[in-house]
A and B are shown apart, each in its own frame.
Chain A
Amino acid sequence: MTIKTREEVFDHLRDTLVELFEIDADKINLQAQLYTDLDIDSIDAVDLLLKLKEFTGQKIKPQQFKHVRTVGDVVDAVMNILATAHA
């Protein structure tokens, strides 16, 4: 798997959110709050983690997403997972 840039990860995440939850693509930016702006609750988050697992090809521990609040936080968490996998 090739190393992905932050932009690529963000684009993928945006597409996933649109496809999975029918969220308006315009509302998705790095600062968007998952719960308050995008209305993603804990049940939705489980589905999102499954999709991210497919995307990274890595096992994901929910703790890795414990402090995630914004879309940018998700991108960072995914970047971390990818970086660890390639280290």
Chain B
Amino acid sequence: MMGMGVFLDSTMGRYWRVLATGFAFIVFGLGALVISITVLPVLRLTAVGKTTPRRRIQYAIHLILKAYVGFMRSLGLLTYEVTDIERLWVPGQLIIANHPTLIDVVFLISLMPRVDCIVKQGLWRHPFLRWPIIWGSYIPNRMGEELVADCAAVLRAGHSLLIFPEGTRSSPGQPLRMQRGAAHIALAAGVNILPVTIEVSEATLTKGYPWYRVPRRRPHFRIKVGEPLPPSVYNPDRRSGVLPARRLSKFFLKYYAAVDAQNQSWLP
């Protein structure tokens, strides 16, 4: 008898994965709509204050995405492993990650019961995602001093914050680039940075490629949570101004160079 993994990597299995990917997208979009008019407003309206509903809704989104990741796996779309997951649960950290695929944020939120997120501004106009984003009070990535100050305040209040320092998914065939926002936020808040690397065994849901171009084999996601980086390491001389932010962004580039090269090597 043919094993499931072998089937999924075969030509037939590939057709299955195209169908299943389309189905998963539909479930995601409809699911986002349904929770936006049921669970999320109920959670918001039954909670008192400003922080409580936000936390509750983010926790609900975490649970839903956790189920969704399990759903994608049971459809045979992907496999994954996570190392040192418990490091993600320490509060008040700036969590950064490389951004090879469309579903990186789905994975990361599924691993963290409470996290604030910086979300690309364009998604506020997204037909399915805008409401969960609004209900969850996620933060838009309009660049500027205000964003840096807001995010630093969130971190200093003891909440962890997730940001992709690249600002958007990695561009295939292009050198890795970092926006400097993540570095500015870390420096302004003076909190630990927790770097996560996302390694994908196949090119999947890559920027600029349509969803139905599924990889030849079922992709495996390897999510590695790194060692936390304290301010005493990333800004030892406690400098202010633009220089430490440039240095820190350079460090991010170096940190993610290897995994980016690895992910890019799978591109068709």
Contact = CB atoms under 8 A, between A and B. Distances in A.
Contacts of B184: 43
A22 interface: yes
Interface in A33-48: 39, 41-44, 47
A47 B246 contact: no
B42 interface: no
A10 B247 CA distance: 24
A21 B143 contact: no
B45 interface: no
Most buried by B among A21, A22, A43, A47: A43
Most buried by A among B180, B184, B247: B180
A42 B242 contact: no
Interface in B51-78: none
A20 interface: yes
Interface of B is mostly: helix
B122 interface: no
B241 interface: yes
B242 A44 contact: yes
A42 B143 contact: yes
Interface residues of B, number: 11
Contacts of A21: 242-243, 246
Interface string A19-32: 01110000000000
**Chain A contact residues (Cβ within 8 angstroms of B): what range?**
under 10
A39 B249 CA distance: 10
Nearest to B245: A43
Contacts of B246: 21-22, 39, 44
Contacts of B245: 43
B74 to A, nearest CB: 43
A42 B245 CA distance: 13
B247 A47 contact: no
A68 B54 CA distance: 43
Nearest to B148: A43
22 contacts: A20-B242, A20-B243, A21-B242, A21-B243, A21-B246, A22-B243, A22-B246, A22-B247, A39-B246, A39-B249, A41-B179, A41-B180, A42-B143, A43-B180, A43-B184, A43-B242, A43-B245, A44-B180, A44-B242, A44-B246, A47-B241, A47-B242
Interface of B: 143, 179-180, 184, 241-243, 245-247, 249
Given A41-B180, A43-B245, A44-B242, 11 more contacts: A20-B242, A21-B243, A21-B246, A22-B243, A22-B247, A39-B249, A42-B143, A43-B180, A44-B246, A47-B241, A47-B242
